[in-house]
Structure 1
Amino acid sequence: MGISEEQWQSPSRLPGWTRAHVATHLARNADAFTRVVSGLAEDRQVPMYDSRAERDQEIERGSERDGLALQIDLDTSAGRLHEAFDLLEALPPMTTVELAPGLEIDSGQLATARLAEVLLHHLDLDVGFSLSDICPDAAGWLLAWVCFRLRGRATIPAMRILSDTGLTDRIGGSGYAPTVRGSDAALAGWLSGRTGPEELRGVQNLAIPLLG
């Protein structure tokens, strides 16, 4: 499906962002992962972004481009990251990397982290892509990543997650944790703040903020 120039500059599902903002963020996120992986290959820990302010400025500037420039940027940045991910095979297992302050993962999770960015922001583009378009394996990886991000987060209501494929986790703050059940895709969509709870069981009056 093609996206017109008017559609690129129209609102996405993310508050305050057009589709061009989302596309630019995805491209710069690919470059940030490339930077992290390249640093690991040289036994250096480097941040994904020099600063939040610089990241935001790049997204704002990039959002002003036309559709062709956005598409070229998405394709070329993804290509660079694809090549960089080949470097991960030479790293010692369980090499730790800090993606953001307080967010540490091992190098084997980098591809999953990028996949989650692509899937969630593809939903945010609001161009016809839906949860039902996510293949079962990817939906499982996405749910595992979202749960990892929300584990122990005090701003999220305490709950136990039980997916139809058997994935279990406990997320949110302290206190009583009701069990929420559903498919991998429906759980991932709701827990990331992208979709409603209609296909889930045990949600009751739980509310989830948008996961950036």
Structure 2
Amino acid sequence: MDFAALPLPERLLITQRGTAFFARRLSELTDDELDGDTLLPGWTRRHLVAHVGYNAAALCRLLDWASSGVETPMYESAEQRGREIDEGATLPPAAIRNLFTHTAARLAERWRSMPASAWDSLVRTAQGRTVPASETAWMRTREVWIHAVDLGNGGRFGEFPDVVLDGVLADVVTLWRARDRGAGLSLCVDGRPSIEIQASEPTTTSVSGPLAAVVRWATGRGAVGVDIKGEETSPAWL
């Protein structure tokens, strides 16, 4: 199932469902628990919530670029992005929660008010890719669904819509291939043909299981519900 092939309103609905999924997980955490670790090494929940909040603000800048034609990068630099997250993580708990809520609402409003002609306008992501403004729906979708799991308080890949799981897996495989990673790796989702990451290499590691479990492993969130023959750790993809 291809996320990009869905009508834009459906894509935005899935994005908003992901935002609600993240918001539920966040609401279940006490203020003290915001100091706890996430599934991302070196980041507390404070860092993660700040990151997700500032990501929404950065996507608003891309939508402003698409609407006005005036170049407005997501971030001034990678260093500025990192400082922003570190500083955001020091905010009081109520302010961190408000950062997420308010920036998510602002992004939703930007999408609602986008001129129809602006959705095809080209903008540049923080990774340097040139994409249409409509790509912001997928960029945010991937962000909120995966990071809801990263909060580490019960979110599961099995709660994702299949179209999100398929999109994440496609992104991971594409990036592995582009960066020449995953030699000898074969992914075997139940009921589907296997995916050979580097087809020219003989298989040395196979990972098989349900779609959600394979995606969890592929994104580096652990081996839960998969059968692994070979290397236990997935290659880095970001």
Scaled by the length of structure 1, the TM-score of the pair is 0.82
Aligned position for 1:205 = 231
Asked which structure has the greater RCO (Cα within 8 Å, sep 6+), the reply is 2
Could you give the per-residue CA deviations for residues 166-186 of structure 1, whole angstroms, max 9, x where no partner exists? 587664x68416465443322
Aligned position for 1:79 = 105
Aligned position for 1:128 = 154
Q: CA RMSD in A?
A: 2.8
How many angstroms does 1:6 deviate by? 1.7
Aligned position for 1:26 = 52
Change (3 A) 1:117 1:169: farther
Contact 2:62 2:133 in 1 (8 A): no
Give the helix-richer structure, 1 or 2.
2
Flag as ranges the 4+ runs of structure 1 deviating above 6 A.
none
Contact 1:113 1:145 in 2 (8 A): no
How many angstroms does 1:200 deviate by? 3.6
Secondary structure at the counterpart of residue 97 of structure 1: strand
Aligned position for 2:145 = 119
Aligned position for 1:176 = 201
Aligned position for 1:145 = 171
Change (3 A) 1:41 1:140: same
Identity %: 24
Change (3 A) 1:46 1:70: same
Could you give the per-residue CA deviations for residues 34-91 of structure 1, whole angstroms, max 9, x where no partner exists? 1112101222443211011111111111111222211111111011111222327433
Change (3 A) 1:75 1:45: same
Q: Output aligned runs, 1:55-74, within 5 Å.
A: 55-74=81-100
Secondary structure at the counterpart of residue 4 of structure 1: coil
Scaled by the length of structure 2, the TM-score of the pair is 0.74
Change (3 A) 1:165 1:35: farther
Mapped partners of 2:111, 2:133: distance in 1: 10
Contact 2:188 2:209 in 1 (8 A): yes
Aligned equivalent of 2:39, options 4, 7, 13: 13
Secondary structure at the counterpart of residue 217 of structure 2: helix
Mapped partners of 1:88, 1:166: distance in 2: 40
Contact 2:39 2:150 in 1 (8 A): yes
Counterpart code for 1:176: E
Contact 1:154 1:174 in 2 (8 A): no
Mapped partners of 1:147, 1:167: distance in 2: 14
Q: Output aligned runs, 1:37-52, within 5 Å.
A: 37-52=63-78
Mapped partners of 2:80, 2:135: distance in 1: 25
Aligned position for 1:195 = 222
How many angstroms does 1:111 deviate by? 1.0
